[in-house]
Structure 1
């Protein structure tokens, strides 16, 4: 395994976009309005090396989430998966390493919480946000009628 890993770092910066583009697999491309969330180097002939590189990128992603907890739920993982070209078999090692690392971290985190109790709390929070928004909208409509 001779592939060089991205430099390990913290991800606290001023803006969300600045933070995201510090991830080793996120880059800006000319002619594209938003960042490309899955830019990997050319595949290595050694599948294990590509898996290791993908794991390392997964660790960078997890560190990013750890350093930016306020952005949890902002669909960064969705943007990453949107930009992965799953039709490229030569990139399979990167994907396998990346997602297997995320699964390992999810398993570690899940051991520390009652998963269904946690999701129920998220459901309650969402319902409270909806109720608040509806109340605010009613108040605005009352003001507008006057």
Structure 2
């Protein structure tokens, strides 16, 4: 994926404040990754508002979830996952797209936009678990994974 920009200022999961030292920020992001149950040999480095994730994860979906988790952290604006590899052969499924939530959005509205079917909102919800705990709890500025409609979540 490379470097992904998250254009937000003060939105996201609050794991630390802006003045927290970089190593402590990285530690808190690693703690959140562990709390979310994302598996792999994952290393996190923070430099200012940028997170670099490296190591190895089981699959492309986990790689994408890590990127979204780190990027949806308050005070983080960029995520670099160039050095994050997946186990096994490359997936033949298309990579997920991403949607930045805007005021008035709902998962149903987003599903209608990407899949043509508002009832497909659970596919987006499942693709963003465990970061999302409830389909109704999204916020403006949050970035969501939108998997290909035919891909497994």
- So what's the TM-score if we normalise by structure 2? 0.31
- So what's the TM-score if we normalise by structure 1? 0.32
**Structure with greater helix percent:** 1
Please tell me whether Structure 1 or Structure 2 has the larger radius of gyration of its CA atoms.
Answer: 1
